[in-house]
Amino acid sequence: MDDKEREKIGKQARELLEKFGKALESVKLKEKKQEKKVGGFREEGSGNDGDREFRRIMFENAPAKEGDNIIAEKKSW
């Protein structure tokens, strides 16, 4: 692509954006009032009630372990 084609494409893009901007000026939006209510958080528990069977299966499937920790790589795929 040579410089003339790039300039032509750039000019067309600018014109398109200007037309779009002018069209947006005539759009009237209704203002929505949003509730400032925060929610969706879970209740925190003690964390002591783990599923022993799940833990056993996870450690059996883990390729590398060190004590009570699973050794995992980040972004290795």
Give one DSSP letter per residue of 5-42, joined into a string. HHHHHHHHHHHHHHHHHHHHHT---PPPPPP-----PP
Radius of gyration of the chain (CA): 29
- Write out pLDDT tens, residues 49-71: 778 888 889 899 998 889 888 88
pTM: 0.36
Contact by Cβ (8 Å): 71, 64: yes
Mean pLDDT of the chain: 84
pLDDT band with cut points at 50, 70 and 90 for residue 76 = low
* Tokens 């398109």, residue located: 16
Nearest-angstrom CA–CA distance, 65 and 67:
6
Higher pLDDT, 8 or 35: 8
Lowest average pLDDT, out of 19-23, 25-29, 66-70, goes to 25-29
pLDDT band with cut points at 50, 70 and 90 for residue 19 = very high
Please report which helix (H) or strand (E) contains residue 66, including its range.
Answer: strand 65-66
